[in-house]
Amino acid sequence: MNKLKQITCILPERIRRVIESEFSSGCIEFDRLTEIRIRVERPLMLMFNPGGERIYEQLRITPDDIAYMIQMITRYSMYAYQDNIRQGYVTISGGHRVGLIGQTMADKGRICGQKYISFMNIRVAHEVIGCADKLMDFICDGSFKNTLLISPPGCGKTTLLRDIVRHISYGKKCRPMKVALVDERSEIAACHVGIPQNDIGPRTDVMDMGLKAEGMLMLVRSMSPEVIAVDELGGRKDMEAVRQIICCGCKVLASVHGYSIKDCYKRPELIPLLGANGFERAVVISDRLGAGTIEEERKLE
């Protein structure tokens, strides 16, 4: 199934026909598509990179459209996807992430679920093989260096991280290395029934839908990796897990949200990991010239 079909198969027929017609006629390039916005009682909207949007005033989203999509996304079993819906997203085949927002239900100050889903955002996953080519000499200076990718959401850091994993696993620009990947949202390897849909290399093991901190430490114990890869480090537990892994002699490839290296020094839990005893390379990414624009490369040794 091609990437477009992976997305359109969850859409109501009237919307599917219009979108597939647009792409098949060549009016729109799929490689530029970043998001499909679904909002009840509002028109369908497609978002593109770099910049731009297309609004379909004739395609007003109805509650029935939303209900149909939820059934398709959850494979007619909302109960099985309750935790995903609580967190606000479901990842579908191909690694495309569908954001879901409605009326939240709270318990003891925490969101415990959602109902009346009215807003959906399909974030289109693109596998851009070769996008890390120019970066590899910098992060593999003699050997692979602990590397931190810094980027705001939607600027291509996950795509870049995936391609670096592929490089390391194949041994391009550095010796072949065993990689263990914590794919918390099924976006990197895009596993479907446990099988990666994206090319992540022959020496890569994947923990799909695993919690980052616990997953990283489990992979060190179970798969004897040389490199641990993880997307979007968060709180102190994640940072402590990275510290333990580096102390074990395993290399780390990770990403974090931010606009600059200076932003990282504003996070107390991250500061001890910046430098010779932690991340040795930092790469800042933006979408200024399109997703994956490398703004800065810095050695942190």
Could you read off the pLDDT of 23-73 as tens digits, one per residue?
Answer: 888 777 888 899 999 999 999 999 988 778 999 999 999 999 999 999 999
Q: Which pLDDT value is given to residue 255?
A: 96
Statement: residue 19 has pLDDT above 80: yes
**Within this chain, do residues 34 and 114 fall inside the same structural domain, yes or no?**
yes
**Within this chain, do residues 80 and 145 fall inside the same structural domain, yes or no?**
no
Listed residues 99, 123, 147: the one ending a domain: 123
Statement: residue 244 has pLDDT above 80: yes
Mean pLDDT of the chain: 91
Average pLDDT estimate for 160-180: 94
Average pLDDT estimate for 173-194: 88
Q: HSE on the CB side for 7, CA within 13 Å?
A: 26
CA 216 vs CA 203, 238, 248: distances in Å: 17, 9, 12
Statement: residue 170 has pLDDT above 60: yes
Angle between helices 236-247 and 212-223 (to 10 degrees): 20
Question: How many C-beta atoms surround the C-beta of residue 53 within 10 A?
Answer: 11
Q: Tell which residue, 97, 99, 124, has the closest CA to residue 23.
A: 124
Of residues 192 and 70, more confidently modeled: 70
Average pLDDT estimate for 176-187: 92
Listed residues 100, 123, 146: the one ending a domain: 123
Rounded Cα gap, residues 248 and 282, in angstroms:
21
Of residues 6 and 253, more confidently modeled: 253
Residue ranges of alpha helices (H) inside the chain are: 3-8, 13-24, 63-73, 82-87, 136-139, 157-170, 212-223, 236-247, 261-264
Average pLDDT estimate for 16-25: 90
The pTM for the full model equals 0.80
Of residues 107 and 182, more confidently modeled: 182
**Within this chain, do residues 216 and 283 fall inside the same structural domain, yes or no?**
yes
**Within this chain, do residues 102 and 13 fall inside the same structural domain, yes or no?**
yes
Rounded Cα gap, residues 88 and 114, in angstroms:
8
**Within this chain, do residues 113 and 190 fall inside the same structural domain, yes or no?**
no
Q: pLDDT over 90 for what percent of the chain?
A: 65
Q: Give the residue numbers spanning the domain of 169.
A: 133-299
**Within this chain, do residues 261 and 193 fall inside the same structural domain, yes or no?**
yes
Statement: residue 202 has pLDDT above 80: yes
Q: Tell which residue, 87, 80, 69, 81, has the closest CA to residue 15.
A: 69
Q: Which pLDDT value is given to residue 1?
A: 55
Rg from Cα positions in the chain = 20
Statement: residue 86 has pLDDT above 90: no
Q: HSE on the CB side for 281, CA within 13 Å?
A: 19
**Confidence tier at 185 by pLDDT (50, 70, 90):** confident
- What total of structural domains would you count in the chain? 2
**Within this chain, do residues 262 and 182 fall inside the same structural domain, yes or no?**
yes
Residue 195 sits in a domain whose CATH number is 3.40.50.300
In a domain, 128, yes or no: no
Structure-token pair, residue 74: 């959850």
Listed residues 60, 91, 123: the one ending a domain: 123
Statement: residue 134 has pLDDT above 80: yes
Average pLDDT estimate for 212-217: 95
